Amino acid sequence: MTHRHDKILDVAERLIRARGYSGFSFRDIADEVGIKSASVHYHFPTKPDLAAAVAKRYRERCAQVLEAAEQQGTGRVNAWRALFHEALKQDGLMCLCGILAVDGASLPAEVAREARAFLQFGIASLDEARPGEGLRILSQLEGAMLIARSAGDPGVFAQATDDLGAI
């Protein structure tokens, strides 16, 4: 992939996490990257193509971060909790697929499919660590992130998830 391709994905990810699927345009991305809107379309013909690629990359990156944390001895639930907490502390933005899930039924099929794939990945991953609890734990993490973002205080996330273990 080219640097421009990656930069488009980076900007789109941040904008989706900040504003949701409906809150960004190719023009927004082009302006920020410093290219023409047609160049964004060259890499991603449609907005659903772009958002689906962003969500897929997000899931793959999360999987890499979680695997690295586990290899360093961090338990899986703690790794998930730390992943969400660090993202919230870093930029105050929501989990990409959590924010996409809010748009639910209005999302294009390919975007909804990638958002669901992340959530299914999360549930399955957490179920491996704590059988039968993956859905509850991921729901707790996503909900705590939403409330902390709304409060403008990452500490709210830590407080709401402290029963899950150390960050």
Tell me the pLDDT of the chain (167 aa) as tens digits: 689 999 999 999 999 999 999 999 999 999 999 999 999 999 999 999 999 999 999 999 999 999 999 999 999 999 999 999 999 988 889 999 999 988 888 999 999 999 999 999 999 999 999 999 999 999 999 999 999 999 999 999 999 999 997 65
Tokens representing 156 are 């709210």
Q: For residue 2, what pLDDT is reported?
A: 82
DSSP state, residue 45: S
Prediction pTM value:
0.92
Q: For residue 166, what pLDDT is reported?
A: 64
Q: At what angle do helices 47-71 and 109-129 cross, to 10 degrees?
A: 10
Q: Find the DSSP H helices in 92-133.
A: 96-103, 109-129
In the numeric block, the tokens 């957490």 are attached to: 126
Closest CA to 141 of 116, 123, 115, 153: 123
Measured between alpha carbons, how far is 113 from 149 in angstroms, rounded to an integer?
A: 25
Measured between alpha carbons, how far is 36 from 83 in angstroms, rounded to an integer?
A: 34
Q: For residue 1, what pLDDT is reported?
A: 64
Q: For residue 167, what pLDDT is reported?
A: 58
Number of helices (H), then strands (E), in the chain: 9, 0
All domains of the chain, ordered by start, with CATH?
3-164 (1.10.357.10)
Tokens representing 69 are 């944390």
In the numeric block, the tokens 């409060």 are attached to: 151
Measured between alpha carbons, how far is 5 from 85 in angstroms, rounded to an integer?
A: 28
